[in-house]
A and B are shown apart, each in its own frame.
Chain A
Amino acid sequence: MTAPTTEIEDEPADWASVRGGVGDRIFYGLALGAGCVILAALAGVFVFLAIKGASGFSKPSEVYGPHAESFLGYVFPLLVGTFTASIIALIIAVPMAFGIALVISHYAPRWIATPVAYVIDLLAAVPSVVYGLWGAFFLAKQLVPMHVWLHDTFGSWPVLGALFGEPNPAGRSVLTAGIVLAIMILPIITAITREVFSRTPRLHEEAALALGATRWEMIRMTVFPYAKSGMVSAVMLGLGRALGETMAVTMVLSVGFDLSWNIIATSSPTSIAANIALKYKERSADMLNVLVATGLVLFLVTFLVNFVARWIIGRSERRMAR
C-alpha cells in the first residue's frame, strides 16, 4: 500500500524541526490541523446526522404512512430497493468491466487500447444526472420490448417467472435502473481492474508463456491470482457507488411500494438515496427527521461495504506476504 519511509529520513527531519523553529512549527501545525479537520468532518457527518435523524427512528406511526407504521417498516422496502438495483448493476457490470479491462491490458493492440482507455476514463467523469437523463428519456423506451419479451418468455417458468412478472409499460423498472447503474459503475470498475491487470509482472507472464500456456491459460495462471485483491476492491467500490447513487434511480424508476421479486414491475420500492431526493421537498420537520435517519442507515451500509472490502484486501495482502 504505502511505500516504506526510510530510516534515514527520520534523523535530519527531527534535527531540522529543532533548528527550523517557528516556521517549522507553524507548518507542522497547519498540516496536523488539516488532518484533524478530516477526522472532525467525518465525525461531524455522523454526529449531525445522528442529531437530526435520531428522532426519525421513533416517530408516531402516521408519519411513516401511508405504507408503513414504523421506521423499520419504512426503511426495509427502501433497503430492498437499494440492494436489488445495485445487485442487478453488479451482475451486469462486473463481467463486462473485467472483459474490457482484459481487452485493454492484454488483448488489444496498443493503437486500440490507448484511445479506449481514454474514453473509459472520460465516461467515469460523465455526471450521474446525465446518465439519469439518458436512462429516463432514451433507454427506458428502448427496453420496453425486452420487458415484454422477458415476461412472455420466462413469465410462466417456475423460478424465473417470479422475477419477470407483469412488466412496466414504460420500461421504468428496477431492471432498467439497474442497467443504468451498471453503465455508471462500469468505468470505475474497469479503470481499477485494468490498472491491476496491467501491473502483473512481465516476468510471471513470460514464465507461463514459456511453459507453453495459451494466452487465456497465462491470464488464469498469472494475471488473475496477482490481481485478485484489486478485482475484489474494484467490485466493492462499484457496489458502494451503486448503493449510494441517487440520480439514476430517482430519474429512471417509477416508484411504488410493492415488495415483490418482480424486477420489471410497475411499482417497485425505490432506493434510500432516491427516496431522499424525491421526498426532501416536503420539508415537514417530522418527515425530514425520518429521511435523515434513512440517510444514516445508508451511510452505515456503505461504510460496512467499504470496510469489508478493505478487510478482504488486507487479508489477501497478508497472505501474499507470508
Chain B
Amino acid sequence: MAKSIDVSDVNIYYSDFLAVQGVNMTIRAGAVTAFIGPSGCGKSTFLRSLNRMHEVIPGARVEGKIVVDGQDLYESSVDPVAVRRQVGMVFQRPNPFPTMSIFDNVLAGLKLNSGKMKKSEAEAVVEKSLRGANLWNEVKDRLNKPGMGLSGGQQQRLCIARAIAVEPQVLLMDEPCSALDPISTSAIEDLIHELKNDYTIVIVTHNMQQAARVSDDTGFFNLKATGEPGRLVEFNPTKKMFANPDDPATEAYISGRFG
C-alpha cells in the first residue's frame, strides 16, 4: 500500500553547512513526484533525507519532520535500518552487487530479513520482482549470471527489481536515467508509470521533459544565491507547473532562460 509523505520545516546540514533550508510539502500516495532544479540546489540531498541515507555521510544531519504513515522518520526511537526497508532507493548509476548473480541481487534485501528462504519461495519473489521491473523476459534464462553482465538499462531495472523485492511503501529514484541511453530511458519511464499503482514514487531528474512526462506533481528547487542554502521554490501539480507556474523563477528555469 503506497503511503504519502508529509514534510515540514526540514533543514539539511553537512556538518555546519546548511545545504537545504525550510522545505514543506506533501508528497501524494500512489503518485509520481518529480524534483527539478539546477545542479547543487539540494534536490538529491533532500531525496536522500527521505530514507535517512543522508546521514550516511559523516557529520550530515537533518532537522524537522518527515512523516510517513503517521510516523516521523527522524524521531529518536526510529531505526534508520527499518526506514530504509520501507523507503527503497534507486541510484543515479546502476549499482548491482558485482559479486552476486542476477538472482541473488534481487534477493539481496530480502535475505537480510528472512535468513533462510525456501527455494520455491525465493524463485517466486525473483520472478515477481523481475516482472515488476519489466526485466523478466530478458533475463529469465540467465538468472545465475552476474548482474554486472547486463546492459546499463537492464542493470538499472535490476536495481529497481532489487528495491521492490522487499516491498517498500515508497520508492526514491535519484536521476535514475542520467547514465542511460534514450531507449533504456524510455523503458524506465514506462516502468515508472506502471509502478505508481503500487508505490509512492519520488524522482529527481535533470531532464525537464522527463519530469513533464512521468510525474503528477513537481517540486522546483533553487539556490537563492551562490553559497546560500537550497530551498523549495514551488511545488505544484506538474500540469500547472509547466503551463502556468506561480513563481517567475520557475518559469525562467522551465523555459530554459537559466540553469
Interface residues of A (CB under 8 A from B): 109-110, 201, 203-204, 206-214, 217, 221-222, 225-226, 320, 322
Contact = CB atoms under 8 A, between A and B. Distances in A.
Chain B interface: which size bin?
20 to 34
A209 B53 contact: yes
A212 B166 contact: yes
Contact of B112 (A204, A217, A222, A322): A217
A212 B108 contact: no
Best-buried of A208, A210, A211, A214 by chain B (most CB within 10 Å): A210
A207 B53 contact: no
A228 to B, nearest CB: 8
Contacts of B196: none
Contact of A212 (B82, B100, B159): B82
Given A211-B85, A211-B88, A213-B112, A204 B58 contact: no
Contacts of B66: none
B53 A222 contact: no
28 contacts: A203-B93, A204-B97, A206-B89, A206-B95, A207-B91, A207-B159, A207-B162, A208-B97, A208-B108, A210-B53, A210-B84, A210-B89, A210-B91, A211-B85, A211-B88, A211-B108, A211-B109, A211-B166, A212-B82, A212-B84, A213-B81, A221-B97, A221-B108, A225-B97, A225-B98, A225-B99, A225-B100, A320-B98
A110 B57 CA distance: 11
A225 B105 CA distance: 13
Contact of B85 (A212, A222, A226): A212
A104 to B, nearest CB: 13
Q: 10 smallest A-B Cβ distances: which pairs?
A: A212-B85, A211-B109, A225-B99, A210-B89, A203-B95, A212-B84, A207-B95, A212-B81, A210-B84, A214-B81
Nearest to A109: B58
B71 to A, nearest CB: 16
B97 A222 contact: yes
Nearest to B113: A212
Interface in B72-96: 81-85, 88-89, 91, 93, 95-96
Main secondary structure of the interface of A (DSSP, over half): helix
Nearest to A204: B95
Given A211-B108, A322-B146, 13 more contacts: A203-B91, A203-B93, A207-B91, A207-B162, A209-B56, A210-B89, A211-B84, A211-B85, A211-B162, A212-B81, A212-B83, A212-B84, A225-B97
A215 to B, nearest CB: 9
A208 to B, nearest CB: 7
Contacts of A201: 95
B51 interface: yes
A322 B89 CA distance: 27
Given A209-B56, A210-B89, A213-B112, A226 B146 contact: no
A256 B173 CA distance: 68
A206 B112 contact: no
A211 B98 contact: no
A213 B83 CA distance: 11
Contacts of A322: 146
A226 B97 CA distance: 9
Contacts of A206: 53, 56, 89, 91, 95
B126 to A, nearest CB: 15
A200 to B, nearest CB: 10
Given A209-B56, A212-B109, A217-B112, A320 B85 contact: no
B152 to A, nearest CB: 13
A212 B89 CA distance: 10
A210 B88 contact: yes
B58 to A, nearest CB: 6
Interface in B132-168: 146, 159, 162-163, 166
A204 B162 CA distance: 13
A317 B58 CA distance: 32
